[in-house]
Structure 1
Amino acid sequence: MHPILSEILNAVLLLAWVLFVVIVIARVTYNYFAKRETHKVAIYYARKVIHILAGGLVALLIALYPLFETPLVPFVMGLLLAVFTYIPHKTGKLMYWFQDPDNIYEVDFCIMWAIFITLGWFAGKQLGYNSPFLFGALPLLFMAVGDGVTGIVRNALFKRRVKHWSGNLAMFIVSAAMALALNFGLSGVLSALAASLVERVEYLGGLRLDDNITVPIASFATLYVLQLMGIF
């Protein structure tokens, strides 16, 4: 099969998985928790399931397997999903089981996923990684899986969306473990720490921050600078 056709097929399969997670698994998750918790809590659980099983798993698969030669197709995938999640907000026809009319952070998630899977590939190439996608995947795993665990812990403890250090501790433990499992060493652990600390910051000078933006930026920058300095 021609490489371009192979990449398109891989993209279609990954997008199909993401849609299955969003439309089926997340809705099942919402229905389960909606019977036991408030609507907002059920939405939050569903969103974190999407974070982990869609954003996190797909980033990991792209990093570990030769699905794409360049970041072009994954970048387009991320932007398509950003449009897919933005349209319901624009039309008012929300996918009620995971979309909140008060924020569009899931759109930010898709955009940042697209940006950092791309930036990470270039950084990985520069730093000599055999699998350059791996470099960008780590900050995305912090954003998707690490922050996903943060939300689940806080939801379980407080039954509402709230910033609390219990979630940040859980995020650091999971994120550092992922960094070590992927052989990032000290630079990975310190970038996990940066991600876990910045996630706690919700407001800056009166401006509300989205951790889907701050987490990948802080962790990517930390990881990149440390490795440029020779700290691995």
Structure 2
Amino acid sequence: MDFSWVPYALIGAAIIVGTIWLTKYPGQDLAWVNRKLIHFSIVPAILMFYYGFIPKGIFALAAFAFGLVQLWPHLKRSEFSWYQLQNNYGEVFFAFSASAVSVLFPRDYATALLLAMAISDGVTGMIRHYYFKRNGFNVKLKKHWTGSLGYLITAVIIAIALLEGDMIGKIGWAFVLMLAEYQPWIDDNLAVPLVGSILYILY
């Protein structure tokens, strides 16, 4: 049996866990920033998945396990306050969605969608946080076009790097995902992978 993936999986997990631990220091006041930093920390594991260092099944199982670990504090009503929010299961949805995406789609498409979930969502959250902080609004409840622009730009770059097809199709893919992230009705950690799944059928 081949266990060559073990060091890569351990490195990927260590980066995520290490980031979760380090974000304790900025604390609860920067919970939204901490959440986005944790989003970014998943990128190395995604890239190792893309290049075949971490098998699909292992990546999916690890993502599912992360989802369960993060769900438990919510169920106990004892959230990790520096990045988890009461009645907001976004990080749990992210992990479960990442698990499903990695299994259901070809590696190139799965990687593009996973990177949009991690990088583009992280970028838009950071931009919105600092925009509203500078302008004195409640950053916990608002979205703004500045963040969506950041999402669109990064998602286009990801599409160009990983997806086949013409430029119009790639921009369209990024634009629709941006709309899925912006809409207010469904948590974007569910909406983006769901819409991305539909786009795969159409793409």
Fold equivalence (TM over 0.5): yes
CA distance in 1: counterparts of 2:112 and 2:132, whole angstroms: 28
Identity of aligned residues (%): 25
Q: Deviations 1:165-208 (Å, cap 9, x if unpaired)?
A: 221111001110122133545333321111101111112xxxxx
1:88 to 70, 73, 79: 73
Instruction: Spell out structure 1 runs of 4+ moving beyond 6 A.
Output: none
2:94 counterpart residue number = 109
Between the two proteins, the alignment pairs up a number of residues equal to 195
Deviation of 1:57 after TM superposition, in Å, equals: 3.2
CA distance in 1: counterparts of 2:90 and 2:199, whole angstroms: 23
CA distance in 1: counterparts of 2:188 and 2:160, whole angstroms: 23
Give the letter aligned to residue 134 of structure 1.
D
1:59 to 46, 65, 70: 46
Q: 1:152 to 1:184 in 2, by over 3 A?
A: farther
Corresponding position: 1:146 with 2:120:
yes
CA distance in 1: counterparts of 2:151 and 2:118, whole angstroms: 10
Q: How does 1:1-232 map to 2 (within 5 A)?
A: 2-3=1-2, 5-24=3-22, 26-28=23-25, 30-31=26-27, 39=29, 42-54=30-42, 56-63=43-50, 65-69=51-55, 71-120=56-105, 124=106, 133-159=107-133, 160-161=139-140, 162-182=142-162, 184-185=164-165, 186=167, 187-203=169-185, 209-226=186-203
Q: Deviations 1:85-113 (Å, cap 9, x if unpaired)?
A: 11111223321110111311110010001
Larger Cα-atom Rg? 1
CA contact (8 A) 2:109 2:162 kept: no
**TM-score, L = length of structure 2:** 0.87
CA distance in 2: counterparts of 1:92 and 1:11, whole angstroms: 30
CA contact (8 A) 1:192 1:219 kept: no
Deviation of 1:224 after TM superposition, in Å, equals: 4.0
Long gaps (5+) in structure 1? 125-132, 204-208, 227-232
CA RMSD of aligned residues (A): 1.8
CA distance in 2: counterparts of 1:78 and 1:66, whole angstroms: 16
CA contact (8 A) 2:108 2:163 kept: no
